[in-house]
Amino acid sequence: MEAAPTISTQGLTRRFGELLAVDGIDLQVSPGQFFGFLGPNGAGKSTTIKMLTGLLAPSSGRIEILGIDLTAHPVEVKRQIGVVPEGMALFGRLTGPEFLNFAGRMYGLDRETTAKRAAELLDFMQLADQPKKLVTDYSHGMQKKLAMAAAVIHGPKVLFLDEPFEGVDAIAAGTLKTMLQGMIARGATIFLTSHVLEIVERLCSHVAIIHKGRLVAQGSLEELRAGVEAQTPAGLVDNSGDGSVNGARPSGEKMTLEQIFLRTVGGSRPAEQELSWLG
């Protein structure tokens, strides 16, 4: 018997005036999945993640997280999820330890547990060396790690991450990946958006692609690959000649996520369209 989805949307739609940013998305994310949510710029990724985390109201449609209706019971849902939104949602004039203490208590932990977990997280994230430093004085990578620590301090069952690796150096990215993989191993579900397709390919077991507000592909990487490969004749070389872009598949090799992505969203460009004045 298949387990009930952790994240489920039906006909999720969001309009901004005339613009249809998200158009009737039906999304299913099962428990324990590391789910990558991809799409070109302006496709509706951030709008979707904001709706899934209660930061933005849908124009229509239904969202269920862990089987609970988000619109009807927002507080119950928020208690079980962690979020690192686009702007990281930090309080700049607190120190790192103060912010984590604050976050833990806002998520309903008692003072002792909060303090203990805050100390552990600061250690793990290598942020414990400068306890008096204000968050506003942190580097971008440090802020990302702190935002991540605040999102997991209550041990959420579902974690939503909007571009968690953007502007993060390799060392910090390694720390974050280790933590996320540990969470997956313990049964949590992670939903992330990212433009770094290599990272998504390495981390995520399942992927959905959104394009112009519509969900154009959803499934495991293998399912997506099989679907795209079935439509792409093997050995076809793309017009750039390197065999790695525009969604074409070099003969005998597995398609990369980047190729699947480009093929799915139609990222190829007509050969005659060139900017001849560029050097």
Partner 1 sequence: MIEPMTTNKSGQLRAIAWLRWRLFVNGLRSKRARLELLSQVIVSIAFAIGGFGGAAVMAGMTFFILERGKPELIAILLWIVFFFWQLFPIMATAFTNNPDSSELLRFPLSYRSYFLVRMAYGAFDPATFLGSLWSFGILLGVGFAKATLLPWTLLVLLTFAAFNLLFMQMIFAWVERWLAQRRTREVLGILFVLVMLSLQMIGPLTGYFGRRARPGVIKFVEAIYPAQGILPPGLAADAVTQAISSQFMTSVSSLALLCAFALIIGYSLHVRLLAQYRGENLSEVAAASALPRDRSLRLGWNLPGFSSPVAAVFEKEIRYLLRSGPMLLTLIMPIFVLVIFRFGPMHSVRHSGSFLARTPDTAFPAAAGYTLLMLTNLVYNNFGGDAGGIQFFLASPVSFREIVLGKNLTHAAILAVETIVAWMGVSYLYGRPTFDVTIATLAGLLFAAPVNFSVGNLLSIYSPKKLDYSTFGRQRASQVTVLISLGLQIVVVGIGATVFWVARHYGNSWIATVILLLLAGISLSGYAVVLGRMDHIAEEWRETLVAELCRA
68 binds partner 1 (CB under 8 A): no
State which of residues 79, 157, 195, 212 lies at the interface with partner 1 (CB under 8 A).
79
Q: Please work out the total of residues on this chain that contact partner 1, with binding judged by CB under 8 A.
A: 52
CA distances from 9 to 61, 69, 100 (A): 7, 10, 31
Between residue 199 and residue 218, which ones bind partner 1 under the rule CB under 8 A? none
Of the candidate spans 3-11, 34-42, 91-99, 171-179, the one that interacts with partner 1 by CB under 8 A turns out to be 91-99
275 binds partner 1 (CB under 8 A): no
- Pick 20 or 119: Cβ nearer partner 1: 119
Structure tokens at 135: 């968050």
Q: Which residue do the tokens 């547990």 mark? A: 113
- Pick 98 or 229: Cβ nearer partner 1: 98
Q: Which is it for the CA torsion 214, 210, 205, 79, positive or negative?
A: negative
| 165 and 172 Cβ atoms separated by less than 8 Å | no
State which of residues 106, 171, 236, 237 lies at the interface with partner 1 (CB under 8 A).
106
90 binds partner 1 (CB under 8 A): yes
**Residue among 177, 158, 142, 195 nearest 83 (CA):** 158
**Residue among 38, 47, 37, 55 nearest 13 (CA):** 47
Q: What span, in angstroms and rounded, lies between the C-alpha atoms of 158 and 166?
A: 21
State which of residues 128, 179, 196, 216 lies at the interface with partner 1 (CB under 8 A).
128
Strand (E) or helix (H) holding 197:
helix 197-203
Q: What span, in angstroms and rounded, lies between the C-alpha atoms of 218 and 82?
A: 23
Between residue 132 and residue 191, which ones bind partner 1 under the rule CB under 8 A? 132-134, 136-137, 139, 150
**Residue among 129, 154, 152 nearest 142 (CA):** 129
- Pick 53 or 246: Cβ nearer partner 1: 53
Structure tokens at 35: 């789910």
Shortest distance (Å) from residue 258 CB to partner 1: 29
Between residue 37 and residue 56, which ones bind partner 1 under the rule CB under 8 A? 53-56
- Pick 42 or 108: Cβ nearer partner 1: 108
State which of residues 13, 24, 62, 98 lies at the interface with partner 1 (CB under 8 A).
98
Amino acid letter, residue 64: E
Which residues would be at the binding site for partner 1 (CB under 8 A)? 53-57, 74-79, 83, 85-94, 97-98, 101-112, 114-116, 119, 128-134, 136-137, 139, 150, 279
